[in-house]
Structure 1
Amino acid sequence: MFAESRLPPPLHTLLVDDEPAARAALRELLERDPELELVGECASGREALRALQQAPVDLLLLDVGLPDLDGFELLREAGPGAAAAVLFVTGSDAHALHAFDVGALHYLLKPLDAEQLARGVARAKERVRALRVQQLARQLGALYGGSAAPGGPEGLGAPATQGYLQRLALKETGRVTLLPVEEVDWVEADDYYVQVHAGGRSYLLRQSLRALEGQLDPRRFLRIHRSTLVNVARVRELQPLFHGEYWVVLQDGSHLKLSRSYRERLDALLAGREPQSPTGRSPLR
């Protein structure tokens, strides 16, 4: 028997515009794309807010000038999880910069043609596919995170204990790579994401630095700056700078800045002592 061909699930799409003629024109264009499923149409901001609160969507096509609640107010009240991708479709370019500030993928001007909409929808599809892969990565990470790590001595660079992540699930060119945490060199904050550096390569992970830090063994990974987390086993030396700050030099030659407020915790780990959680600025020795 031949395997059944399965298409990816369509993008659930919500259309929000107070002009009936504009909604009809957009509906006609959207219905030509088999990868989109139009799940609703709204003529006001409040109506759209109720719809998004009941069921978040993959793609939101949104006008700015809506009665009772404009497009920006709608996004603010609905929250970041209401729509994976937002395309503004409006009659004026006056709000373009603001649209990109709130995370819109595209700002399309009326009257709209099929080619313009197709470009915006293509970007939305890429965004949604990436988010679906990242969701799968998190599920795989949760599935494999509790497996046993190789044995080794306790203390600096010791294997992660139960309850801490032992592998990171990372998206890489359409694949999901399971990276053992001991292979991570350092991690840096990148807006709402983090860049994971390992073996000369960099991977983007959709997670905040604070959230990731809480899932990693504190005997192995330590914050040395508000935007930097380091694998202590990768530290080669410390080079003094000014005002109590240091360069942390890794085995691969990377230079990372150590802030004063994090110095004592790093000293404790390097000396084999249990680090204390900072309660403020640590005194300098």
Structure 2
Amino acid sequence: MLRMAVCDKEEETCSLIKALAEESIGCKVWTFHSDTELLESKEKYDILLLDIGNGEPTGIETARKIRRCYDPILIFIAEGKKHVLDVFDVEAFHYLLKPIDEEKLKEVLKRAENHCKLQKEKEPLIIRVNGENCYVPKEEILYAENYARKVILHLGERQIAYYAKMGELEEQLGESFFRVHRGYLVNLRAVRSYHTAGVVLKNGEEILMAKSKFQKFEEVYMDFLRNSD
């Protein structure tokens, strides 16, 4: 689930954005009423909506501090267009004017959500193998298999086994992977065909699919194909 923070001195604005975000993209939302309060939280968020404001620090100054620590999607909120050019310095994703247009906000949040998902898919999977960190490109994983207390990643001609929980891996890999069976997690990009009892991968391997998963798999896979480049 995506993490989002809203920082605006107006309680009404925070409440509106929080409600619309939870409804439209289903993310977890934190609200703050000052930039200082946000910075002191020391948490990291996927999406950050900041009121530009005129206080100390300003929203842009706060954004610069945050950029030095991590790279969230930054969406600015302002009462006018005075700072619209300034936000390019901190690589803003969008600039929203008050009063908030609800439909416009939903549209921007949906685009931000899609951008986050694409970015997360590009990030390598970081796992611990034999006491060392191992970086695995997600696109190379054909499927993951649950075996005893281990997870086995199948990457074409090689395999990587390590101690992990399948549920945690499912969350790390994101929406381009689907849990076709409690013991198997399949990369949708690697699917060649499917039927009610299994998924056939592009390398010819066939993965067992639970009967209860078929309908949901078909819905997710069709949606994946429609939204793929």
Give the TM-score category using the shorter length. Answer: 0.5 to 0.7
State the match for 1:180 in structure 2: none
TM-score by length of 2: 0.52
> For residue 85 of structure 1, what is the aligned residue in structure 2?
73
The one of 12, 29, 33 equivalent to 1:21 is: 12
CA pair 28-111 structure 1, distance change in 2 beyond 3 A: same
- When residues 175 and 23 of structure 1 are mapped into structure 2, their CA distance, relative to the original with a 3 A threshold, is same
Give 1:96's aligned residue.
84
Let me know the Cα RMSD of the aligned residues: 2.9
Q: Determine which of 26, 36, 49 is the counterpart of 1:46.
A: 36
List 4+ stretches of structure 1 deviating above 6 A. Answer: none
Larger radius of gyration: 1
CA contact (8 A) 1:14 1:57 kept: yes
Cα 1:30/1:66, change in 2 over 3 Å: farther
Q: How far apart are 1:113 and its partner, in Å?
A: 2.1
| 1:187-206 matched pairs, under 5 angstroms | none
Distance in 2 (CA, whole Å) between partners of 1:95 and 1:72 is 9
Per-residue displacement from partner, 1:155-193 (whole Å, max 9, x unpaired)? xxxxxxxxxxxxxxxxxxx959xxxxxxxxxxxxxxxxx
In structure 2, which of residues 39, 49, 66 is the aligned counterpart of residue 61 of structure 1?
A: 49
Aligned to 1:120: 108
Residue from 26, 51, 64 that aligns with 1:35: 26
User: Given the superposition, is the C-alpha separation of residues 106 and 175 from structure 1 closer, same or farther in structure 2, using an over 3 Å criterion?
Assistant: farther
**Residue 27 of structure 1: CA displacement?**
2.4
Distance, in Å, in 2 between the alignment partners of 1:116 and 1:80 is: 29
Structure 1 residues 131 and 81: CA distance shift in structure 2, 3 A: farther
* Aligned residue identity for 1:140: V
Decide whether aligned partners of structure 1 residues 99 and 67 sit closer, same or farther in structure 2, where only a CA change above 3 A counts.
same
TM-superposed CA distance for 1:80, in Å, is 4.5
After superposition, give the CA deviation of every residue in 1:123-169 in whole Å (9 maximum; x if it has no partner).
21122112111113783249x8xx9xxxxxxxxxxxxxxxxxxxxxx
- Count of aligned residue pairs for this structure pair: 137
Counterparts of 1:100 and 1:78 in 2: how far apart (Å)?
15
Q: Which residue of 1 aligns with 2:136?
A: 140
Aligned equivalents of 1:42, 1:87: Cα separation in 2: 15
- Counterpart CA distance in 2 for 1:21 and 1:136 is 39
After superposition, residues 113-192 of structure 1 pair within 5 angstroms as 113-136=101-124, 139-141=135-137
For residue 13 of structure 1, give the secondary structure of its aligned residue in structure 2.
strand
Q: 1:123 to 1:66 in 2, by over 3 A?
A: farther
* CA distance in 2 between partners of 1:122 and 1:43 (Å): 24
CA distance in 2: counterparts of 1:80 and 1:97, whole angstroms: 20
Structure-2 residue corresponding to 1:11 = 2
Fraction of identical pairs, as percent: 27
AA in 1 matched with 2:37: E
Alpha-carbon distance in 2 for matches of 1:112, 1:59 = 17
Q: For the structure 1 residues 107 and 45, does the alpha-carbon distance in structure 2 shift closer, same or farther, using more than 3 Å as the test?
A: same
Aligned amino acid, residue 99 of structure 2: P
Shift of the 66–58 alpha-carbon distance from structure 1 to 2, 3 Å rule, reads: farther
Amino acid corresponding to residue 59 of structure 1 in structure 2: I
On the 8 A contact 1:63/1:90 being kept in 2, the answer is: yes
User: d(CA) in 2 for partners of 1:119 and 1:34?
Assistant: 10
Q: What's the CA shift for 1:43? A: 1.1
Distance (whole Å) between structure 1 residues aligned to residue 10 and residue 39 of structure 2? 17
Distance 1:66 1:123, change over 3 A: farther
In structure 2, what is the Cα distance between the partners aligned to 1:63 and 1:175? Answer: 39
Name the one with the larger helix percent. Answer: 2
TM-score by length of 1: 0.43
Q: Any unmatched runs of 5+ in structure 1?
A: 1-9, 148-173, 177-285
Q: Describe how 1:241-252 pairs up with structure 2 within 5 A.
A: none
- Tell me if 1:108 matches 2:96: yes
